[in-house]
Amino acid sequence: MNAPAILREYCGEDLPMVLAVYRDAVRQIAPALYTPEQINAWAAFADDDALHAMMAQGYRLVIESEAGIDAFALLDPPDYISLLYCRARASRNGHATRLLRAMEAEARHRGIVRVHTAASLISHPFFLRRGYTVDTTERVERNGVDFHRYRMSKRL
């Protein structure tokens, strides 16, 4: 029997596996809702120094199984869930919910009363099911390609 996946704090040595989770999520899950051009532009962000810098700050958690890191999340600034990704092989196992609950608990601990996020077409239904509401929709550009996303928030 497999050992249960553990939720733990991120450490700098996790960056290569976190980037692999990011790439996997985009390449394996996103094709249902995004064009190949969008997927390539989105996945390329894993090689961007901006993503590496994001993972060097804030409240960061990973979920790790015997196979390695399966999911990760970043709360930065303290009222903003800026990243929440799960490998395709580990999706629908409760990892994203577990991470989101931990992010919300940390925000509450810091005195935050409302958390925000920018949800993709993929994560939008997930956040809706967890009590988030759409504040606005927006178009953003990543590597020269346009994306539609939802600015969402939830009162804690």
Write down all domains in the chain, each with its CATH number in brackets.
Answer: 6-155 (3.40.630.30)
Q: What are residue 40's phi and psi, to 5 degrees?
A: -65, -40
The pLDDT mean for the chain works out to 95
Helix or strand (DSSP H, E) at 37: helix 36-43
pLDDT one-digit tens code per residue, 82-136: 999 999 988 888 999 999 999 999 999 999 999 999 999 999 999 999 999 999 9
**Are 106 and 89 spatial neighbours (Cβ–Cβ below 8 Å)?**
no
Q: For 105, what's the count of Cα atoms within 13 Å in the CB-facing half-sphere?
A: 8
pLDDT one-digit tens code per residue, 24-52: 999 999 988 999 999 999 999 888 888 99
Note the residue count of the chain.
156
